[in-house]
Amino acid sequence: MTHGLILFAHGARDPRWAAPFEAVSAAVRAARPGLPVRLAFLEFMAPTLPEAGGALVAAGCSHLTVLPMFLGAGGHVRQDLPRLLDGLRAAHPGLQVVLQPAVGEIDSVVAAMAAAALARLPAAEPAA
């Protein structure tokens, strides 16, 4: 079984918006050489989730992990994404797809965001 990873983001009209997601994708590839990784977007950008999933299947993947690159699980993650995944499964019978929680709901990511926020503050003053 070949495993692939889809990083699923919203998409934007400005192509510069995708830079952080491209950096995450590059970091994953560097950490796990040989792991098939694709970015996919809900709207405005390519590839779409069906396109990225199809490319991974064509590359020999039979098992996909989908990580929503959203801070929270709103309507896109709770409604749109499951419909897209159902379509992907229907288009590729036998494909195993595991949907992970939105990245912003993962404890280590929440901790990293809190640390980043605190790192941008001046040092705390000693209590009087």
Global confidence as pTM: 0.91
Total of domains in the chain: 1
C-alpha triplet 43, 27, 81: angle, nearest 5°? 30
Would you say residue 83 lies in a domain? Answer: yes
- The enclosing H or E element of 91 equals helix 81-91
- Whether the CA torsion 85, 54, 69, 66 is positive or negative: it is positive
The CATH number for 68's domain is 3.40.50.1400
Domain range enclosing 48: 3-119
Would you say residue 128 lies in a domain? Answer: no
Q: pLDDT digits over 102-113, tens only?
A: 999 999 999 999
Token pair recorded at residue 38: 């694709």
The C-alpha atoms of residue 53 and residue 47 are separated, in whole angstroms, by 9
Q: pLDDT digits over 44-82, tens only?
A: 999 999 999 999 999 999 999 999 999 988 778 888 999
Would you say residue 125 lies in a domain? Answer: no
What is the structure's pLDDT at 72? Answer: 85
* Sheet hosting strand 37-41, strand order edge to edge: 37-41, 3-9, 63-68, 96-99
Would you say residue 105 lies in a domain? Answer: yes
Strands 63-68 and 3-9: parallel
The C-alpha atoms of residue 43 and residue 45 are separated, in whole angstroms, by 6
Helix axes 81-91, 49-58, angle to 10 degrees: 30
Would you say residue 46 lies in a domain? Answer: yes
Residue with tokens 């830079």: 19
